[in-house]
Amino acid sequence: MFEFNLQATQDRARAATFSTPHGSIETPVFAPVGTQASVKGVTPLQLETIGASLVLANTYHLYLRPGSDLVAEMGGLHEFMQWPHPILTDSGGFQVFSLAERREIDADGVSFRSHLDGSSHRFTPETAIRIQEDLGADVIMAFDECPEPYDRAYNEEALARTHAWAEQCKQAQTRTDQALFGIVQGGIFDDLRAKSAEFISGLDFPGNAIGGLSVGEKKEEMHQVLDTVNSILPKNKPRYLMGVGTPEDLIEGIARGVDIFDCVLPTRLGRNNSAFLSRGGRLNLKNAEYAREEIPIESDCDCYTCQNFSRAYLRHLINAKEMLSGTLLSIHNLRVLIRIGSESRAAVIAGNFDQYANSFRAGIKI
């Protein structure tokens, strides 16, 4: 049911196809984030139009509202949100651990209070798997702990829990139509990351994720972690870099062997007046300098926004506080990342990914 076919490589960059029950995913790929079973401001049809093949939904948020049992009753996430293509759910670990003052961790799981109403809840590895089985995504995540990246002593403790929980998640899984990914942790510490990559690889999951990055560390530290981890993770399985998603991050991640990316940033920026540029950087379209610019965000972008609307119109929508501004900017931002994935894939297959990546870093389009 799940098959990862590696089609081409160039150095560490890869082009592959990952088969799931709801279709095949061509990698490298960027997955828009639909935290609450909805990519903010963008319809499923618009996602299809910009080339999205995989979306992510959030276990923690859907557990609290509307409840995973209700989603299961409604036919699972695919039917509930009317997305017929592959879906990935995280385990809720990052959200639970980000609650700080609202949670208590022990060897068996995490007790926490809802950010919505203060009610008490508990996640264990078994709970995280049960919820994700209710939600019915194609790809699900093991329950892990995402610690602060620079505290070595705490990272050692958290890594022991993450590894034990990965084993328990594998034992708890009952559905065979969901690919369970293990998650590599270990902060910025090379030896801990190597230890984690070796342990998670040894559990023989159908895919592996890299967590705990883009949480405050320096870019060069992220790149070093990716170099270390991807030299150990098996080559015949997909690699998913969790929560990372700027144009620059995609290029550097793909160059280091990452296959799947996700991030809330493109839609968050879209709701806050900013547009990605396809060779790095961004525009704040609220600025007065764009008030009379008749050109699109990017003249060679093929998204609906750039094909139809000027910077001047987008700035007007922003200043008028029209909801359409967030939708149009989100469409563009998502398309930029999806195009980087597909262009990188084509470049790997053609054997010129190095040239493509170097042109990106230089701000040049080829």
Supply the residues annotated as catalytic: 90, 262
Phi and psi at residue 26, to the nearest 5°: -85, 125
CB 56 within 8 A of CB 89: yes
CB 54 within 8 A of CB 339: no
**Beta pairing partners, 30:** 261
- Which residues touch 193 (CB under 8 Å, ≥6 apart)? 184, 185, 186, 187, 225, 228, 229
> Cis link prior to 266 (omega < 30° from 0)?
no
CA–CA separation, 236 and 358 (whole Å): 27
**Rounded CA Rg of the chain:** 20
Q: What is the DSSP letter of 352?
A: -
Distance (Å) of CA 121 to CA 110, 140, 169, 244? 8, 21, 19, 28
CB 224 within 8 A of CB 190: yes
Residue 76 carries which side chain, given as an amino acid letter? G
Whole-angstrom distance between the N-terminal and C-terminal Cα of the chain?
A: 38
- What helix, strand, coil percent values describe the chain, rounded to 5? 45, 20, 40
Closest CA to 334 of 286, 284, 264, 236: 264
